């Protein structure tokens, strides 16, 4: 059953037979009708609510404002889940909200919000507070030319603005709660919960849709997708994450309006793609994309995933394992770094490009890798915010892989102490599961990382004995060739123009780490990090010459005056 699902997910889709369009019911009144749902009906457990969100609501209410927990948090509470994040909506303006809290910050230009911060460091929590938005009629808004980047001058001082396609560029006109509800995307996200009275405010039958497990867009879906094309991806993400059915009227325009995503900044689409793959239902999300006909051309990195089976041997299995591992970590409440997911998805692309660059130019290891990473980023990810940090984290994981081959005590201890060791090890483990390397290698490193010093020395010694036994069993010729191939310590030499053939990138990942250092202009040894290899060498101090008892300098190799050469 699982194999059938996986093969269906990764094969190229055939042209589907035309399906008659369903009869669509016209949408209800946009603003809806206010309904207060009591505790006896919604049964939200107060124990699932973050005390800091309740504190923000009560502070605003005590100051005379309306305030509610809103959006996805209420949806999750209705489904019996503990929300990951809590948002609050109020009729207080951002400036009024900021004035009520000691650590509050107004953020955003397109959609102005206030972040109320509790705690510090890694333990800090942010409660996002938004002001009720007004429902603007299209005739009231004159479109601007271009987009956020090309029309900055036109957007200055505007509270509400759209581009020529109808996409909202500014949305900072305040209004009443019923209009704010109509501005939200789905009925299940337009719910307002008052923790003091334990009442849910519902304008668009969101509680009913949650009970029926239906995902329904508020208002005219075509107009709502035009306002923000990213909602097309959000429909898929929520349907896969919650296991909801997409209502026909909502689903109908999705495929034909997907081209509008080309007008959205790449960073926003990229962020939504990462969320899609971090829902804890990555494979289900990809299947939903295919089901809705959105699996090609939406974002280049998804093309890399969905075309995996047709580009490199073993790539399909490796990416499947990576996505399953991501889903498992999300289910266990563990964090998932985007850099790890991307490193897995682009691993074979980088290897392939790395090979090409080394073969074509003979470039050293590090410059060739940098060029390969940049080329793959440009092709698969594009110009997004945070690209530099993502690339650095991914390069560290990739460059750890050859260092795992050297199982010597000092080198192994240094590698285990690297800050990114766990990510590099998880990457190694997936390679073993995919059949790229012997799984014994990852098992050895797991044991080594958990052992004390004595146990680690025994693991290294046992590996040495096993290698000697393996060479002996293979015969004297194999042992001799193995010894000849073993890396030897050598002096650093300046690179010469007569360098030999470049080393294949795919060969590098299974080579001894110390051998790699001899093939690069700036060698990376097994006991140093990438950054330390680029640091200047320490200044050496000249040793003072030795002196005899009379204080006379003695040159090494000479016989001190008054000494017998034969003694």
Residue 317 lies in a domain: no
Residue 468 lies in a domain: yes
pLDDT in tens, the chain (567 residues): 444 444 444 343 333 333 333 334 444 456 789 999 999 999 999 999 999 999 999 999 999 999 999 999 999 999 999 998 999 999 999 999 999 999 999 998 778 899 999 988 767 899 999 999 988 765 566 666 655 555 555 556 556 566 655 566 666 788 999 999 998 999 999 999 999 999 999 999 999 999 999 999 999 999 999 888 999 999 999 998 899 999 999 999 998 998 888 888 878 888 888 888 888 888 888 888 888 878 666 666 676 666 654 455 577 788 888 989 889 988 888 888 888 988 898 888 888 898 999 999 988 877 888 788 888 877 777 666 666 788 788 888 988 888 898 899 999 999 999 999 999 999 999 999 998 899 999 999 999 999 999 999 999 999 999 999 888 887 666 555 555 444 444 455 555 544 444 445 544 454 444 434 433 333 333 333 334 433 444 555 555 555 555 554 544 444 444 444 444
Residue 242 shares a structural domain with residue 180: no
- The CA distance from 257 to 261, in Å, is 8
Cα 290 → chain centroid: 22
Helix (H, G, I), strand (E, B) or coil at 115: strand
Residue 96 lies in a domain: yes
Question: Dihedral (C-alpha) 384, 388, 390, 393: value to the nearest 10 degrees?
Answer: 170
Residue 348 shares a structural domain with residue 274: no
- The CA distance from 94 to 181, in Å, is 18
Specify the pTM. 0.69
| CATH number, residue 267 | 1.10.3090.10
Residue 146 lies in a domain: no
Residue that finishes a domain, picked among 186, 212, 238: 212
Which among 50, 163, 178, 185 is annotated as catalytic? 185
Q: Known catalytic residue: 185?
A: yes
Rounded to a whole number, what is the distance in angstroms from the first to the last CA of the chain?
Answer: 87
Residue 313 lies in a domain: no
Which among 50, 76, 87, 228 is annotated as catalytic? 87
Cα 176 to Cα 134, 135, 136, 162, 326: the distances in Å are 7, 9, 12, 21, 41
Q: Which residue has the tokens 């300046």?
A: 494
| CB neighbour burial string for 7-36, b if at least 16 within 10 angstroms, e if fewer | eebbeeeeeeeeeeeeeeeebeebbbeeee
CA neighbor of 184 nearest in space, from 152, 162, 161, 206: 206
CA neighbor of 101 nearest in space, from 125, 77, 72, 137: 125
Residue 68 shares a structural domain with residue 186: yes
CB burial of residue 390 (10 Å; 0-12, 13-18, 19+): buried
Helix (H, G, I), strand (E, B) or coil at 185: coil
Residue 514 lies in a domain: yes
- The CA distance from 58 to 101, in Å, is 12
| CATH number, residue 105 | 3.30.460.10
What digits encode the pLDDT tens for the residues 152-210? Answer: 555 565 565 666 555 666 667 889 999 999 989 999 999 999 999 999 999 999 999 99
Q: Is the dihedral of CA 478, 479, 480, 484 positive or negative?
A: positive
Residue 200 shares a structural domain with residue 265: no
Helix%, strand%, coil% for the chain, nearest 5: 50, 10, 40
Q: Known catalytic residue: 374?
A: no
Domains in the chain, number:
3
Q: Known catalytic residue: 349?
A: no
> 87-90 and 125-131 as β-strands: parallel, antiparallel, unpaired?
parallel
Q: What secondary structure letter does DSSP report for 279?
A: S
Q: Which residue has the tokens 């460091």?
A: 121
Q: Domain of residue 83: give its range.
A: 29-136+173-212
């Amino acid at each position: 059953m699982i194999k059938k699902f996986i093969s269906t997910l990764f094969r190229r889709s055939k042209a589907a037979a035309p399906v008659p369009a369903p009869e669509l019911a016209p949408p209800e009144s946009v603003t809806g009708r206010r309904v207060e749902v009591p505790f006896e009906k919604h049964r939200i457990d107060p124990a699932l609510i973050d005390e800091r969100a309740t504190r923000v609501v009560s502070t605003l209410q005590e100051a005379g404002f309306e305030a509610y927990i809103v959006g996805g948090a209420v949806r999750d509470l209705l489904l019996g889940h503990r929300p990951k994040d809590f948002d609050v909506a109020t009729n207080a303006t951002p400036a009024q909200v900021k004035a009520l809290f000691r650590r509050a910050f107004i953020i955003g230009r397109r959609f102005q919000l206030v972040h109320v911060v509790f705690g510090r460091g890694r333990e800090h929590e942010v409660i996002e507070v938004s002001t009720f938005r007004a429902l603007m009629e299209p005739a009231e808004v004159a479109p601007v030319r271009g987009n956020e980047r090309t029309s900055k001058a036109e957007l200055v001082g505007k509270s509400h603005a759209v581009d020529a396609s109808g996409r909202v560029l500014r949305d900072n006109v305040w209004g009443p709660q019923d209009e704010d509800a109509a501005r939200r995307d789905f009925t299940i996200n337009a719910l307002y919960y008052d923790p003091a009275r334990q009442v849910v405010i519902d304008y668009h039958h969101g509680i009913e849709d949650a009970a029926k497990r239906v995902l329904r867009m508020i208002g005219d879906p075509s107009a709502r997708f035009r306002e923000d094309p990213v909602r097309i991806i959000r429909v898929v993400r929520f349907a896969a994450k919650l296991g909801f059915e997409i209502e026909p009227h909502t689903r109908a325009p999705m495929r034909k309006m997907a081209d509008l995503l080309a007008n959205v900044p790449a960073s926003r689409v990229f962020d939504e793609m990462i969320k899609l793959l971090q829902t804890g239902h990555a494979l289900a999300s990809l299947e939903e994309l295919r089901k809705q006909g959105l699996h090609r051309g939406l974002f280049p990195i998804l093309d890399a995933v969905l075309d995996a089976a047709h580009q490199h041997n073993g790539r399909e299995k490796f990416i499947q394992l990576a996505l399953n591992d991501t889903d498992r970590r999300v289910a266990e409440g563990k964090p998932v770094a985007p850099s790890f997911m991307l490193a897995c998805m682009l691993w074979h692309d980088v290897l392939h490009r790395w090979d090409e660059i080394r073969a074509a130019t003979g470039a050293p290891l590090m410059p060739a890798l940098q060029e390969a990473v940049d080329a793959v980023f440009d092709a698969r990810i594009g110009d997004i915010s945070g690209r530099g940090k993502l690339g650095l984290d991914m390069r560290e994981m990739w460059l750890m892989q050859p260092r795992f081959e050297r199982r010597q005590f000092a080198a192994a201890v240094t590698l285990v102490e690297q800050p990114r060791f766990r990510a590099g090890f998880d990457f190694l483990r997936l390679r073993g599961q995919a059949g790229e390397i012997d799984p014994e290698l990852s098992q050895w490193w797991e044991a080594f990382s958990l052992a004390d010093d004595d146990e680690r020395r025994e693991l290294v010694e046992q590996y040495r004995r096993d290698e000697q036994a393996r060479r002996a069993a293979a015969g004297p010729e194999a042992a001799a060739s193995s010894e000849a191939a073993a890396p030897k310590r050598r002096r650093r030499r300046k690179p010469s123009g007569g360098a030999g053939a470049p080393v294949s990138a795919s060969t590098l990942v299974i080579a001894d780490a110390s051998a790699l250092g001899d093939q690069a202009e700036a060698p990376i040894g097994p006991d140093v990090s990438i950054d330390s290899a680029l640091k200047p060498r320490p200044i050496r101090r000249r040793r003072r010459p030795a002196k005899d008892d009379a204080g006379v300098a003695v040159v090494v190799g000479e016989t001190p005056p008054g000494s017998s050469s034969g003694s």
